Structure 1
Amino acid sequence: LKAFPEVLHHPKEEQFLFARLALRHAESAALIAQLQDEHREGSAQIQAVEACLATARRDAACHGELAGALEAFAEAQWRHLSREEKLILPAARQHLDEADWQAIAEAFRHNAEVRVGGEQDEAFKRLFVKLMNTVPA
């Protein structure tokens, strides 16, 4: 929940995709700033989920609070991803050149290598199951 977006994805997205798009298409700057703010808000939401999870482990009465925190996080992520897919990626396709895309692909290639198989995928699956079992139906 935290390792992939916070450590691998968002920093590279900001450093490579957003930075290159801002250079090539100044009109995207306001949207990019909003998306970067959403990255920071997502970090705060992850911390809230972690705090609620810790509390819910000790007190079953807090399961509703955890469910609310997870729902808020999920909704914010869907909105964020939708804005990236509907606004940023089309602008990037229109304004970035081949060298930009090669640099972006190289930066993100490591993310795919980390995510494919291995301990981290198994840890993610275990965490997902644990979260789903913690939140009441």
Structure 2
Amino acid sequence: HEIPDTGDIPLIADISSCFLSEPIDVTKFAMLYGGAQKNVAPAGLTICIIREDMLGNARDITPTMLNYKIHADANSLYNTPPCYTIYICKLVLEWIEKLGGLEKMKERNDKKAKLLYDFLDNSKMFRGTVVPEDRSLMNVPFVTDSDELNAKIY
């Protein structure tokens, strides 16, 4: 997928679905954030990667918990950290590193997605809803070929 060139406009992305599934050039973003519950750890942890020049620009109405300068100044310990979730995150990071890093994770995810999309593309009962060039490795929407059954399910 393409990362848009936004010029001087800061690019911010929610990468909850694809976090740690493949390499990402973080230098192209002002901020990346994602909930850990999809790929990294149990619910309760949000990971933020923020360019330093983005810190300290929060509006007065910004809730304290969303003012990342406060978190940065407190070394990410402004509130009580979710210790168990952070521990599981550490184990997942070590596992990914042991497998060979994010390049290997992408290879694994490409293979899994290919199996799933090949099945959907050749199924007599199910079909994908996204054109091949826009398909995700992580989120695979599909429906049945029966409008009647789809109406019951959805």
TM-score (norm 1): 0.30
Larger-gyration structure (1/2): 2
Whose relative contact order is higher, 1 or 2, with alpha carbons under 8 Å and at least 6 apart? 1
TM-score (norm 2): 0.28
Instruction: Name the structure with the higher strand share.
Output: 2
